[in-house]
Structures are given as C-alpha cells and as structure tokens.
Amino acid sequence: MNYINILALGDITGENAVIKLENKLRDIKNKYHIDFVIANGENAEKARGITKELFDRIIASGVDVVTMGNHTFSNNGIYVINDDRLIIPANIDDTSLNKGYNTFNCKGAKIFVCNLMGKDCVPKPKYNAFKVARKIFDNINDDTIIRIIDFHAGFCNQKRVLAHYLKDEVSVIYGTHTHIQTADESILYNKVGYITDIGMCGPINSAIGYDLDFETRRFVEELKDDSILSKDTNCMINGCIFKIDIKTGNTLEVQRLSK
Ligand SMILES: [Fe+2]
Ligand SMILES: [Fe+2]
C-alpha cells in the first residue's frame, strides 16, 4: 500500500475519556483502517497534565504518540514519563524534557511528529512557535517524508497562518486546545491536511470538559477558583483522520471523526 492512515485525537480530558479509548479505540482503528494514532494527553489527569499511569494506559489503548500543550507541567507525572512516545511543545521552555518532536516508523515509512504551542495559551510558551518551527524544518532529514504538527493554540488565525508558513514542509497541521471540533477540515495547496481544531476526547455533558454547575457559578458569581473536571462518564471521541501518500508526503484525504 502506498498510503498511510493517521488518526489524530483531541485533548484527552479526564480518566473517563481514557476508559472510553480503552473500550473503543481498537474498534475505531479497525473500522477506519488506521495505521498510526497521535493523541493529545495534556488534560488526562483531572483536566490538568498527565501521569505515568495514564500515559501507559493511553498507549496500551492503541495510541502510538502522545502530544501535550499548556498543561504539560500541570502535573509532576510528566517528569517520570521517560518515553520517546511523549512529545511536549518544542517552544515551551529551555528545559524541555525532549526536543519537541520525534520520528517514528510505521509501514516502512518515517513519520515525523512535532508539537508546538501558541502564544495565547496560559501559561505562555517561552519561544515563538513560528521561529522554532522554521528552525526545526530547516534541519530536518530529507528522507522524513511524512510530517505532522499538533499546533496547540486558541486563536484560529495563527493555526491557519502556520499552515501557510510551513506549506512546503509539512503533510498535516491540525489544532488542539480549544476542545471544540471545527468544520474546516481541508487539503490546502493540494497537499497539506488541515483542520483548525480536532476537538476533545472527554465528557459530553460539560463545558469543554469542565463541570457545568461549577462553571455556572464561576460565571454568575465570578468565582476566582479553577474549573473542575466534569464527572460525566459519557465521553465523546473527537479527532481527524489523514490519509497520506507515503512517497510524496501529501495528504490525500481528510475526514473528521466524532464518536
Ligand atoms: Fe486541552
Ligand atoms: Fe490546552
């Protein structure tokens, strides 16, 4: 086969979402003939960060690579996950646990996965995502044909602009962080798979994963307290499937997934 199907999953929010993946991801992979799965895990532990136990369970559910975002350091668990399959934003700080990207082998192809973070995130990344990305792609190995970016950011415009800026370098740019799936999946410039945000794997009856009653109080009473994870056990799985030509690295098809 001369193409590969990559499934990107949105921010995994809470343990119930991990359980949902444990129960459903194998079936989804079979149904859509998925070869490789990248999932954003920045909200796995009570919506803030990730633990080693949850990382291991996400991988065991059928995920190949876990990316992160502004909640990378919200849980100390990140420091004990010593695993090449964990990728944190390349521009987050100086002391990053890894270089923000890695290359993986699948079906005889090399898949380069990079994680970047927008400056509208809280806390902000230390470095400019665009400049860091340019540096990374100026030094990338030419035989790494399939190149994927999870751009973890809020503002829609910067995600679309990054796709324009890197149009000659990448196969796919997808967004995470807002937890809301956008309907603008497309193939830009006849080669770059794109969607502004792939959405969330998390509680359905929630406000982007947070408890609705508590969020209501936060808004009505203007509470300063942090949001808390919704207890709803009924979770959605949101993501996007990219069919990519192994020889050219061009995206051939983009399909949103919402289960
Ligand atoms: Fe998130
Ligand atoms: Fe985020």
pLDDT at 73: 95
Q: Which two tokens stand for residue 184?
A: 């603008």
Mean pLDDT value of segment 219-247: 96
Mean pLDDT value of segment 192-202: 98
Confidence check: pLDDT of 98 > 90: no
Question: What angle, 0 to 180 degrees and rounded to 10, lies between the N-to-C axes of helices 156-165 and 129-138?
Answer: 20
Q: Residue 222, CB half-sphere, CA atoms under 13 Å: how many?
A: 0
Summarised one tens digit per residue, pLDDT across range 112-167 is: 999 999 999 999 999 999 999 999 999 998 889 999 999 999 999 999 999 999 99
Q: Residue 102, CB half-sphere, CA atoms under 13 Å: how many?
A: 16
Categorize the per-residue pLDDT at 94 as very low, low, confident or very high, splitting at 50, 70 and 90. confident
pLDDT at 169: 96
Confidence check: pLDDT of 175 > 90: yes
Categorize the per-residue pLDDT at 110 as very low, low, confident or very high, splitting at 50, 70 and 90. very high
Categorize the per-residue pLDDT at 29 as very low, low, confident or very high, splitting at 50, 70 and 90. very high
Q: Which two tokens stand for residue 87?
A: 């990728």
Residue with tokens 């936060």: 218
**Cα–Cα distance measured from residue 36 to residue 62, given in angstroms and rounded to the nearest whole number:** 9
Q: Residue 20, CB half-sphere, CA atoms under 13 Å: how many?
A: 21
Categorize the per-residue pLDDT at 95 as very low, low, confident or very high, splitting at 50, 70 and 90. confident
Element of type H or E holding 157? helix 156-165
Q: How far is the CA of 224 from the centre of ligand 2 (A)?
A: 19
CATH number of 3-203+234-258: 3.60.21.10
**Cα–Cα distance measured from residue 52 to residue 205, given in angstroms and rounded to the nearest whole number:** 27
**Cα–Cα distance measured from residue 178 to residue 180, given in angstroms and rounded to the nearest whole number:** 5
Element of type H or E holding 107? none
Confidence check: pLDDT of 6 > 90: yes
Q: Which two tokens stand for residue 12?
A: 């995994």
Q: How far is the CA of 105 from the centre of ligand 2 (A)?
A: 27
Categorize the per-residue pLDDT at 251 as very low, low, confident or very high, splitting at 50, 70 and 90. very high
Confidence check: pLDDT of 84 > 80: yes
Q: How far is the CA of 103 from the centre of ligand 2 (A)?
A: 23
Ligand showing the shortest atom-to-Cα distance for residue 153: 2
Q: Residue 83, CB half-sphere, CA atoms under 13 Å: how many?
A: 17
**Cα–Cα distance measured from residue 164 to residue 192, given in angstroms and rounded to the nearest whole number:** 9
Q: How far is the CA of 202 from the centre of ligand 1 (A)?
A: 10
Mean pLDDT value of segment 216-220: 95
Summarised one tens digit per residue, pLDDT across range 228-240 is: 999 999 999 999 9
Whether 143 and 103 have beta carbons less than 8 Å apart is answered as no
Q: How far is the CA of 42 from the centre of ligand 2 (A)?
A: 7
Mean pLDDT value of segment 53-75: 98
pLDDT at 141: 86
Mean pLDDT value of segment 203-216: 97
**Cα–Cα distance measured from residue 115 to residue 96, given in angstroms and rounded to the nearest whole number:** 12
